[in-house]
Structure 1
């Protein structure tokens, strides 16, 4: 896992800056943190194809999502001067007002689709099943990467995959961590084990 600190100057486009940086450096990873403000925000709300545009002194509350060598999927929430909070899918046209600092975390991409039986299986003892944009899933992957634990990550992105993994674990929360093909637990269990032995037992 490698941290990257981006300092965006006024008039920078938020999403294009992350796209260009991840593309030029051939990076895959997640947004870990952000502090800053915007003069213009463009977002798309769930289930609505219309892009909503906001202008003013807009403080960034959170920025979540992933980047993959120029491709990004990001969600932004922000507050206006009346402390009203809005959020949605980040679109081009979000312009920095005074400045914005972003922390990115990059790592080797190991996400595969559980329904694709043609993929060569990873021999790692640890398998992590995650949901897209799930904060606890992201934390689990960051923890595994930070302790250099070999692992296979599988994205659960359809009902068939969801039912299949539930049948193995008897749990419906995520992430789901398996050790030697036996269900171990979620993020809390992983975090507690890390406190005990830094996950050396998982190597």
Structure 2
């Protein structure tokens, strides 16, 4: 195992920065320590469908969990200006205020032959076939949400999981040969990727798209 320090500048997304680092380093590991503060914190509380978002001068108390090229699983705790402590699963949208310094313990991933995409990789959508292809008894209208995803993309899987959890019907389409995924469209208009989808949910803008 090797130790790797990471300094994040103001405005950096805490979660996305760690995901990017793990992909660039092609290494897995965990957070050994952190000091810093956030201007905005997004975290998933137990039992809640969508993320909780706090804004202000928020002091990071702990950040624990794992990082890997396939994604991260991190638990954040923080204190607000009244010394109340909050915490949950770290989500995209947690923005650094003045700075944050982390120490990671990483283990390099040994090279291996590329894995062939499995049915479960993007056929998490397979479980959603009733949403993508309505049966004769379903409403004839097309789903309002269309999403372009790519096999093996962790953000594609998270976006699909969010839509499934919220009960939002959607249709899968092939992504362009180049460009980021996922890409989420509502009524034919691009709203963005996973981060933008999570932000829309945090603002309550996805409620009108839910089934039933």
Residue 59 of structure 1 deviates from its aligned partner by 0.1
Report whether the alignment pairs 1:48 with 2:35.
Answer: no
Separation of aligned partners in 1, 2:83 and 2:8: 23
Q: Residue 6 of structure 1 contacts residue 101 of structure 1 at CA under 8 Å; is this kept in 2?
A: yes
Task: Tell me the CA shift for residue 109 of structure 1.
Answer: 6.5
Cross-structure match for 2:189: none
Secondary structure of the corresponding residue to residue 22 of structure 1? helix
SS in 2 for 1:92: coil
Partner of 1:11: 11
The separation in 2 between residues aligned to 1:11 and 1:68, in whole angstroms, is: 23
Q: C-alpha distance in 2, partners of 1:89/1:49?
A: 12
SS across alignment from 1:67: strand
The question of whether the paired residues in 2 share the 8 Å contact of 1:39 and 1:56 is answered with yes
What CA RMSD, in Å, does the superposition of the two structures yield over aligned residues?
1.4
Output the CA distance in 1 between the equivalents of 2:79 and 2:4.
25
Equivalent position of 1:27 in the other structure: 27
Distance 2:46 2:28 in 1: 25
Number of positions where the alignment pairs a residue of Structure 1 with one of Structure 2 = 110
* Contact residue 18 and residue 67 of structure 1 kept, 8 A: yes
Look up the match of 2:209: none
Structure 2 residue ranges without an equivalent (≥5):
111-212
**Structure 1 unaligned spans of 5+:** 111-203
- Per the normalisation by structure 2, the TM-score is 0.50
Moved over 6 A (4+): none
Task: Tell me if the contact between 2:60 and 2:79 (Cα under 8 Å) persists in the aligned partners.
Answer: yes
Does structure 1 conserve the Cα–Cα contact (< 8 Å) formed by 2:25 and 2:108? no
> Aligned ranges for residues 91-106 of structure 1 at < 5 Å?
91-106=91-106
Q: Say yes or no: does 1:84 pair with 2:119.
A: no
Q: Please give the per-residue CA displacement for 1:169-195, whole angstroms capped at 9, x wherever unaligned.
A: xxxxxxxxxxxxxxxxxxxxxxxxxxx
